[in-house]
């Protein structure tokens, strides 16, 4: 593949000269590696100001379409579906393990403190011994899925607070 060089305007409006020695093209992007880069970088075609060399090598309209980003499931829907699955299992050592995700740092710290005060072990990742995953509005679907796979009971913060106060889940 031949070298392609161009002037590029990034998202901050800064203009720079780019030269790619290995590259590929889609309908919206150029992706490639320069002589000094270890990893490829992606450039939006609509931000290319001018081509210096290699414009004749582009496929333009004949380029394959840009890949579509996978749709992310709504974490609240995933968690609600998982919560309908029943009651949590009792851990082998008798100590419930809980993971908090999707909360602002201050709120998560307060919830973690309440969990520890209730005798629960606070986890940072979903492991096979996880009992509960407590999710907030910004919960990532991958943590919810990992917790489901671990057999954890999925609850929101209100259900968690009710659990530590009454010992019951709604």
- Note the pLDDT tens digit of each residue in 60-99: 878 777 666 545 556 566 556 555 555 555 555 678 889 9
Instruction: Please give the pLDDT value at position 6.
Output: 95
Q: Regarding predicted confidence, which is higher, 36 or 92?
A: 36
Angle at 56 between CA 53 and CA 57, to 5 degrees: 90
C-alpha–C-alpha distance, residues 127 and 50, integer Å: 51
Mean pLDDT over each residue of the chain, to the nearest integer = 82
Task: Give the mean pLDDT of 125-129.
Answer: 84
The whole model's pTM is what? 0.49
pLDDT of residue 116: 93
């Amino acid at each position: 593949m031949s070298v392609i060089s161009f002037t590029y305007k990034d998202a901050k409006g800064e203009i720079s000269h780019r030269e790619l020695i290995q590259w590929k093209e889609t309908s919206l992007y150029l992706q490639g590696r320069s002589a000094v880069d270890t990893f490829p970088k992606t450039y939006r075609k609509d931000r290319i100001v001018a081509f210096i060399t290699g414009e004749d090598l582009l496929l333009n309209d004949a380029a394959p379409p840009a890949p579509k980003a996978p749709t992310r499931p709504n974490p609240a829907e995933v968690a609600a579906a998982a919560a309908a699955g029943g009651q949590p299992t009792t851990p082998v050592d008798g100590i419930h393990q809980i993971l908090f995700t999707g909360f602002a740092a201050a709120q998560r710290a307060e919830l973690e403190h309440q969990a520890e005060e209730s005798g629960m072990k606070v986890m940072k990742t979903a492991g096979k011994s996880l009992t509960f995953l407590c999710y907030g509005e910004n919960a990532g679907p991958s943590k919810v899925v990992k917790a489901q796979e671990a057999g954890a009971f999925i609850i929101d913060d209100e259900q968690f607070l009710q659990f530590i106060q009454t010992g019951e889940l709604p």
